[in-house]
Structure 1
């Protein structure tokens, strides 16, 4: 096994020297500014049921995380706020998800001021707007959403975007964001990980670097932590695959998938069966597969058997990585993130060499490295 694979990305992250510190000089390092009154850089994006009965609030409280819940049910919203307060968990936001599904509202739906007003009445100081989907090149829709969002007091304008806005229209996007001067929350559409290409990461970095207002990156995978390292105010990782991106309206939508757990050494989520298949190939050295998070307590990852257990483990590991990467010095945060990506890419390549088709190398790690060369 190579020395690269022996790096513990969680315990050794800040002891490792960046392989090429000059490569980040072209990437603007912007200091993160918290927007939410109760600051928690990393949020979990989840179904309301996960917070009401699934134990997510308890896990957020233990890890110092907040959560974004997909619900418009007033009773559930009040109950979730109360649970977060009682357990001293991080901040709560609510997502109306008007942009999701085959029947998404993407033509001319106006923002509902009553939606944000109600949230403020129940204690959400800076609520998300109920924005509808913004299709590629629909400049009028982008302008309308930003204009209406700016007219709602202390709201965060949600921008559910076609990926084209990030990969091909980042200049125009950030110009319009600055024109209306309201904090925004980005969510990007893709059948898979929206940030698995260099163009997408470059677009995100451009928006973060040049926006004059706080930017949140929501409904995301591990890129959420990268966004925080490069100046996002807050970012959210979905508790399931379907909540790590906006699913396109064609193709039948997301299907029920096997539970996946975060593999810290590879900085990627993998199905439980894939993890079980991989571990025997490394029986001579299990350090890649041993986890010291509060849930695993030194066990190998194949002890995780259910979706709930996978969520408990993953949340603790992601919170730990975010805490180690995100600091007061934006340059150090950016370098820490890219170095973590480099080492994780090396780990994935070595695992893939043994498992071939069963362990594809994550495109997002390669994209971050290429975008910051």
Structure 2
């Protein structure tokens, strides 16, 4: 692996505030080798998620990544104690060894928080104040979506986040019925306007929308189970399996990952649709069907490299200095993606609808001038981006 200037301490390889908005790749411990290969480029980095509560294995693999493989992009560690049927509650204390090992590796410190259930105000205060006492930590907030969708819960969350003043990394559980997905997304946009750096972890393509809306950084999962926090199922210690559809690739115009087999079948039904041709560095102008025609052992790594190429291209196109303009651009992309999916008969993606409704449409009275920067201590290495106005409830 080529040695480059170490970006881990600053979270940025370029000057300028809008360059701090990294798009990280979130992977499991067992996926680190492949993920590091595709995420070893400017604007990217890794979030490594512990598997089956094996924190020691996660720490050991990351130490090898840094000290032997000399990976120079930012790396964050996710203990994932909030996930699975045996997940811990927010009231569970932090594991001091987990905190100290991150410090020993020279990484930003993320708390190993438990799950923040609805109305668990004690858990919320405990996570935030516990992170503040550590002095150098980012508070991980794995939240039920009601914390964002419900106005009163949201106001309490925002009040405590601003009052305690530590950076936060939010993970939003998949909205169960009857939680309104649009309301939860509006709540996330409010959270991104807080006075502290806010990161979004374990996300899908919404990671791009979060970057457009002022997130300091955002992480998109390597598979569907790491692109959202699912409701727990199965016995304690069980972690949901990934879906068995084979390798997937990102279809740029649809803002979604699709199995290679589905891409090829749909391309054959709609050969004249212009969205199959891809000009990313990996595809180099070929149609996406070439990935499905590769030898089996090459499909997954090249599909992953293509997807990261496209994601980083989109990040560069969408994240300018004006958050408001970025949001409008993202809103338009979501509308176009929903239309392209309908053209080829693919199912509607509710997330695309949520984003279109959560961001207010441009008006003549709207200003595209970035708001003045508000300063707070920033311990993540990722800077807060001033946010534009968002819709009301």
> Would you say 1:226 and 2:214 are equivalent positions?
no
Query: In the alignment, which of 160, 177, 182 is matched to residue 198 of structure 1?
Result: 182
Which consecutive residues of structure 1, in runs of 5 or more, have no partner in the other structure? 1-33, 353-358
Matches within 5 A, 1:1-373: 37-39=10-12, 41-52=22-33, 54=34, 56-62=35-41, 64-71=43-50, 72-73=55-56, 74-82=59-67, 86-88=70-72, 90-106=73-89, 108-124=91-107, 126-168=108-150, 169-190=153-174, 197-209=181-193, 211-250=194-233, 254-257=240-243, 258=245, 259-283=247-271, 285-305=272-292, 306-352=299-345, 359-373=346-360
Provide the residue aligned with 1:30 in structure 2.
none
Q: Secondary structure at the match of 1:131?
A: coil
For residues 64 and 178 of structure 1, the distance between their equivalents in structure 2, rounded to whole angstroms, comes to 28
- Return closer, same or farther for 1:196/1:368 CA change in 2, 3 Å cut-off: farther
TM-score, normalised by the number of residues in structure 1? 0.81
Q: Secondary structure at the match of 2:47?
A: strand
Q: CA deviation at 1:61?
A: 1.6
Deviations 1:51-71 (A, max 9, x none): 23x2x2121123541110013
Q: Secondary structure at the match of 1:231?
A: coil
Are the aligned partners of 1:35 and 1:234 in contact in 2 as well (CA < 8 Å)? no
Are the aligned partners of 2:174 and 2:231 in contact in 1 as well (CA < 8 Å)? yes
For residues 322 and 9 of structure 2, the distance between their equivalents in structure 1, rounded to whole angstroms, comes to 20
For residues 347 and 83 of structure 1, the distance between their equivalents in structure 2, rounded to whole angstroms, comes to 44
Number of aligned residues: 327
For residues 75 and 301 of structure 1, the distance between their equivalents in structure 2, rounded to whole angstroms, comes to 37
Q: Secondary structure at the match of 1:43?
A: strand
145-154 or 195-204: which moved more? 195-204
- Return closer, same or farther for 1:313/1:63 CA change in 2, 3 Å cut-off: farther
Q: CA deviation at 1:97?
A: 0.9
Q: Which has the higher contact order (CA 8 A, sep 6+)?
A: 1
Which consecutive residues of structure 2, in runs of 5 or more, have no partner in the other structure? 1-6, 13-19, 293-298, 361-393
Aligned-residue Cα RMSD (Å) equals: 2.5
